[in-house]
Every structure is written in C-alpha cells, then in structure tokens.
Amino acid sequence: MAKFSKLQVLSVMAETGMVPVFYHKDVDIAKQVLRACYAGGVRAFEFTNRGDFAQEVFAELVKFAAKECPEMILGVGSVVDSATAALYIQLGANFVVGPLLNPEIAKVCNRRLIPYTPGCGTVSEIGFAQEAGCDLCKVFPAGNVGGPSFVKNVKAPMPWSMLMVTGGVEPTEENLTAWIKAGVTCVGMGSNLFPKEVIVAGDWNKITELSKNALSYIKKARG
C-alpha cells in the first residue's frame, strides 16, 4: 500500500517541480537510476508500465526505495485501465499517471486516496478530469498540444488548475523556465533526463548532475 498520503504526494510534486519518468526491464539499472535521481534532489519518481513484468521491477523498486531512498515517492505511469492501477496500488504505488483519462481509474484511486494524474489534450478533458476528482492533470503530449502557451491559456479561465506537462520537456534552463513561467505545477521528464548513452555507460553521476541542474533551473524560474 501507499507509504505517503495524497496530500504529501501532491505537495512534494508541487514543491520540487519535477517528476522523472523512467522504465527499464533490468531491476538493477532501475535501482541505480532511482538512487542517482534521489542524490540529485528528486523526491517523486514515476516508473512507467511499459514492458513485460514491469510490475515485478516496480515491486522491487518499492522495497529498495524504502531502505535506500526513504523520502522518495514512487508512482506508476502509462496506466490505461483500472485493473492495472489496482495492481500497482497493491504493490505500493503512491500515485498513478496515464496517457489518457479513464474515469474507472479515478474511482479506484479515489477509493484509496491515491492521486490519479490522467493525460489530457484539451480544455474539456482537463475539466472532465477535475470533475472526476483528479487534482493534478497531465498535459500530454505537451509539446504537440501547444507548448507553454497552451498551459498559460488554460490557466487564464481556469486558474485553479494544477497541471503537469510531459512530452517536449528538456533539462535546459530555457525550456524549463518557459514551462514554469506558463504556470505548470510540475514537469514530467523522461528520455531527455536519461540519455541512452548515459544508461548504457552506467554513468549514474551524470544523471544526478542532470537532476540537480534541472531542479535548480525550476527553483530559479519560480524566483
């Protein structure tokens, strides 16, 4: 079951401003990446459900984090149905993220007070997600939907909206500043934070450096 409360999860995401998004079938590599992000200041981490036996890797990560990264909030991503959401919640997921909005997932998560962040590509989808009890909505794919201007234009008539953007996010000061200034609550960052060559080389210090720099850019942009 979840180690952190819904309020704790949402607060940490908002405070740090970044949620790394990662998947690897090798549990040892996943552990190293998790530890590297933790060393860089990351406190919320999304492991995506994208491969065979991904749930087994996730279960091991939860146990690992409890010992090695006690303040890390682990959640699951790429969830499109309620059964998968329930499985990961039982394994210890503290939040559930998806590429689309599925009200049935919202019911499962709400029942356990687990934050559900669905993928939304329109203002109406964001509105429907909020109606279903989703506090934080994921604009996805953010770069294709409209970029920072889309976020700014949504926040104008719906200033209460809490938005996480994924897709089109880069660990550069220019990119992160644009998203933060547009009004995002946090950003989700995947492959750009975990370059393939860095993973292959096992250069975990590089991931720590990228994480630390990204978080500093976000803090600076917020003033």
User: What are the boundaries of each domain within the chain?
Assistant: 6-218
Half-sphere exposure of 2 (CA within 13 A, CB side): 24
Measured between alpha carbons, how far is 175 from 173 in angstroms, rounded to an integer?
6
* 6-218: CATH number: 3.20.20.70
11-52 per-position pLDDT tens digit: 999 999 999 999 999 999 999 999 999 999 999 999 999 999
96-108 per-position pLDDT tens digit: 999 999 999 999 9
pTM metric for this prediction: 0.97
